[in-house]
């Protein structure tokens, strides 16, 4: 089944409780208002809402414990938060102190977000408050980052240490 969403869908995140799929749409800089998040009702096979965001989207994830979607925005450097129960708007933003938030992952056990940035830094944040916990150098610009909670290791070609 195909469901029309915004321009150039990229990151995806799924809320299994509600059956909502969030599509982070990269958009087109030449088209005003094209940077959006689409919320899709997976069972009905239709988009239920479009949420405008401040810039180009990157990775997205859903945190079942917080009942929230997190989506990286490249510029301005931030993470937008959409609450699962209020998935029709951005509920808050978390500023990121590095250029180009790109890869994004979560350690649900500790409530930490890991944001790998084009500015060659890995930012660790407390998801609930948005407080920056650490900044680690990366050997290059990342595309993706994965956190293995069992091994307590980051997995990405650009990570220089964990």
Q: For residues 157 and 8, which has the higher predicted lDDT (pLDDT)?
A: 8
Give tens-digit pLDDT for 82-139. 999 999 999 999 999 999 998 899 998 889 999 999 999 999 999 999 999 999 998 8
The CATH class that applies to domain 9-155 reads: mainly beta
pLDDT of residue 4: 93
Q: What angle do CA 62, 32, 50 make, to 5 degrees?
A: 35
Beta-bridge partner residues of 24: 11, 37
Lowest mean pLDDT among 10-14, 21-25, 92-96, 140-144: 140-144
User: Is the pLDDT at 35 greater than 90, yes or no?
Assistant: yes
Q: What is the C-alpha to C-alpha distance for residues 128 and 125, in angstroms, rounded to an integer?
A: 9
Share of the chain above pLDDT 70, in %: 86
Beta-bridge partner residues of 135: 123
Give the CA count within 13 Å in the CB-facing half-sphere of 99.
Answer: 6
**Can you read off the two tokens belonging to residue 57?**
């989207």
* Length of the chain counted residue by residue: 162
* Whole-prediction pTM: 0.88
Domain ranges of the chain: 9-155
Q: For residues 49 and 157, which has the higher predicted lDDT (pLDDT)?
A: 49
């Amino acid at each position: 089944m195909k469901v029309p969403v915004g321009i150039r869908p990229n990151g995806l995140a799924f809320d299994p409780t509600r059956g909502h799929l969030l599509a982070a749409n990269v958009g087109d800089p030449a088209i005003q208002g094209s940077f959006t998040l689409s919320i899709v009702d997976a069972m009905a096979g239709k988009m239920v809402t479009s949420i405008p965001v401040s810039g180009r989207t990157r990775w997205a994830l859903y945190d079942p414990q917080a009942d929230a979607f997190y989506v990286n925005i490249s510029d301005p450097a931030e993470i937008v938060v959409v609450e699962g129960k209020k998935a029709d708007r951005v509920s808050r933003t978390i500023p990121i102190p590095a250029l180009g938030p790109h890869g994004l992952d979560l350690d649900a056990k500790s409530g930490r977000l890991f944001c790998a940035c084009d500015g060659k830094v890995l930012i660790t944040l407390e998801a609930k408050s948005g407080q920056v916990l650490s900044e680690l150098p990366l050997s290059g610009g990342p595309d993706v980052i994965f956190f293995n909670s069992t091994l307590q290791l980051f997995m990405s070609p650009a990570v220089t240490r964990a």
